[in-house]
């Protein structure tokens, strides 16, 4: 499904779009969540302006997940900032101007490194072969080969890409913009920010940084694994201490995206599949959590956990959905979160055992902060302010049920997703093995489920 047209011919930039197993479900998730976000925002002021910015944001996010030209990728990657800034600043809460500005400045500063890296690799390719191009496929065929880039140059370029993607994820310690942006954004802004915008960073590693610089990725993997592991544990501990329910979920995203980075830089089939599956699962479960917190805010006009209590008696359906979504986010077996995190930890343990062992504590801590928040918010006797709250409406059910239902379906039957991402994941692992200077995935990471049966000889014995 490649679409290719001339754009800026003299500069070597094209309108070049395509889709594969790595991008397929991010595109599908984007297409699902934006209509849900608009439906959840039906009562916001200035609905026409809000819809305009949401659709502009959707177009930009789709462009990021589909671009196969580095200039086009960068244009979409940067354009995302504009509508998101206006969504937070125009319809956010409290200190929204500060949060919107911080989001814009942080992510734009990180993208400056990406721009330099893109220009550098294109000019180096032009100097080597005499052709100026930003076609990702051409550059991936050229950059990893011996004689194309020195090891030091590849390492510096990989770091330039890494800074931009680490800010967007956000990876510890570049995460400080995220809680403010999540807390002050409107409900739909928080949903799309957590569910798809953060995935642009992890997707950038899978689509650009690792294929272009596999040797540098292997060399610097320990640094990223350390930061991912710290993010998992740190995000969970800080989330447990948050008095604001929305801010608690924001810090949980730091932990969940840490699992994605962990699985990615384990460079095993299971780890990469688990990382991609977690990207999809996190979009479903965290999106649903932000929707439910938005519903509570509409009823109580507060997000402080201390102001809740006994909500289950006044809003039993909403409370039941919140508990189910919390279980899904924790990674309870039967929900999609379990599949993704299990594959990540299994794949990481094969090559980076100590990181997997430490990261496992993040699963335990996730249960601590979410179940403790549920206990304080929904159990006990309701106060006078909480006693008469209306339960969830039909419109609100239409926004959250598809996300919870998909998480449950994928938890029991992940095969449709895993079958479609596996060929591209295996191709990426083989690419890293080929150019990673001695790196090899353990044999145990190759289950052979899709290998053809061995030929039999005349005696019927396996060949």
Predicted confidence at residue 364, as pLDDT, reads 86
What pLDDT, on a 0 to 100 scale, did the predictor assign at position 303?
Answer: 83
* Euclidean distance between CA atoms 284 and 295, whole angstroms: 17
- Please give the angle made by the CA atoms of 316, 256 and 23, to the nearest 5 degrees: 105
In angstroms, the CA 144 to CA 139 distance is: 9
| Domain ranges (residues) in the chain | 3-435
Single pTM value for the model: 0.86
Q: CB–CB of 271/264 below 8 Å?
A: yes
- In angstroms, the first-to-last Cα distance of the chain is 39
In whole angstroms, what is the distance from residue 5 CA to residue 391 CA?
A: 52
User: How many Å is the Cα radius of gyration of the chain?
Assistant: 23
Does the N-terminal peptide bond of residue 433 adopt cis geometry, omega within 30 degrees of 0?
no
Are 2 and 65 in contact by the 8 Å Cβ rule? The answer is no
Rounded CA separation 124/140 (Å): 13
CA distances to 59, 197, 239, 284, 412 from 87, in Å: 15, 13, 25, 21, 36
**Cβ 29 vs Cβ 428: under 8 Å:** no
Q: Are 2 and 16 in contact (CB under 8 A)?
A: yes
* Residue pLDDT, tens place only, 332-383: 888 888 898 889 999 888 888 888 898 888 888 888 888 888 888 888 787 7
Q: How far is CA 241 from the centre of its chain?
A: 24
Residue 440: per-residue pLDDT: 61
Residues near 307 by beta carbon (within 8 Å), at least 6 away in sequence = 300, 385
- Give the model confidence (pLDDT) of 12-29 as tens digits: 888 989 998 889 999 999
Question: Do 65 and 26 contact (CB within 8 A), yes or no?
Answer: yes
Give the pLDDT of the chain (463 residues) as one tens digit per residue: 888 888 887 788 889 899 988 899 999 999 999 999 999 888 888 889 999 999 999 999 999 999 999 999 999 999 999 999 999 988 888 788 888 888 888 888 888 899 999 999 999 988 888 888 888 888 888 888 877 788 888 899 999 999 989 988 888 887 788 888 888 888 888 899 888 888 898 999 999 999 999 888 888 989 999 999 998 988 888 888 888 888 888 888 888 888 899 999 988 888 999 999 999 999 999 999 999 988 888 888 888 888 887 888 888 898 889 899 999 888 888 888 889 888 999 988 888 888 889 888 888 888 888 888 888 888 878 777 777 788 888 888 999 999 999 999 999 999 999 999 999 999 998 888 887 776 666 655 444 444 444 444 444 443 3
């Amino acid at each position: 499904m490649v679409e290719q047209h001339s754009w800026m011919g003299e500069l070597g930039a094209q309108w070049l779009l395509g889709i594969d197993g790595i991008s397929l479900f991010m595109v599908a998730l984007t297409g699902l969540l934006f209509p849900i976000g608009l439906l959840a925002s039906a009562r916001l002021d200035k609905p026409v302006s809000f819809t305009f910015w949401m659709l502009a944001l959707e177009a930009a996010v789709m462009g990021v997940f589909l671009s196969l030209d580095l200039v086009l990728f960068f244009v979409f990657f940067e354009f995302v900032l504009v509508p998101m800034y206006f969504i937070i600043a125009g319809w956010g809460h409290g200190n929204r101007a500060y949060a919107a500005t911080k989001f814009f400045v942080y992510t734009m500063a990180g993208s400056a490194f990406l721009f330099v890296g893109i220009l550098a690799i294109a000019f180096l390719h032009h100097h080597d072969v005499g052709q100026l191009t930003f076609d990702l496929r051409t550059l991936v065929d050229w950059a990893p080969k011996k004689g194309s880039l020195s090891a030091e140059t590849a390492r510096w370029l990989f770091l330039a890409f890494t800074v931009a993607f680490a800010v967007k994820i956000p990876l510890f310690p570049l995460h400080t913009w995220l809680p403010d942006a999540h807390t002050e954004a409107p409900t739909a802004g928080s949903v799309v920010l957590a569910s798809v915008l953060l995935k642009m960073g992890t997707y950038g590693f899978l689509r650009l940084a690792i294929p272009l610089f596999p040797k540098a990725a292997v060399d610097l993997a320990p640094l990223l694994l350390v930061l991912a592991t710290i993010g998992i544990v740190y995000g969970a501990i800080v989330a447990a201490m948050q008095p604001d329910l929305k801010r608690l979920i924001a810090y949980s995203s730091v932990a969940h995206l840490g699992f994605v980075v962990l699985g990615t830089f384990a460079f095993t089939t299971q780890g990469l599949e688990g990382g991609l599956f977690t990207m999809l699962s996190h979009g479903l479960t965290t999106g649903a959590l932000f929707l439910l917190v938005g519903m509570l805010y509409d009823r109580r006009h507060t997000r402080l956990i201390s102001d809740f209590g006994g909500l289950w008696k006044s809003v039993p359906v909403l409370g039941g959905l919140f508990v189910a979504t919390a279980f899904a986010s924790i990674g309870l077996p039967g929900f999609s979160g379990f599949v993704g995190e299990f594959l990540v930890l299994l794949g990481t343990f094969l090559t980076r055992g100590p990181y997997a062992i430490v990261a496992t504590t993040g699963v335990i801590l996730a249960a601590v902060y979410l179940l403790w928040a549920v206990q304080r918010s929904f159990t006990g006797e309701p106060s006078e302010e909480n006693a008469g709250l209306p339960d969830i409406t039909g419109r609100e059910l239409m926004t959250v049920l598809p996300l919870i239902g998909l998480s449950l379906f994928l938890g029991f039957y992940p095969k449709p997703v895993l079958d479609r991402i596996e060929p591209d994941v295996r191709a990426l692992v083989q690419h890293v093995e080929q150019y990673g200077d001695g790196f090899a995935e353990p044999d145990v990471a190759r289950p052979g489920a899709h290998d053809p049966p061995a030929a039999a000889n005349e005696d019927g014995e396996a060949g």
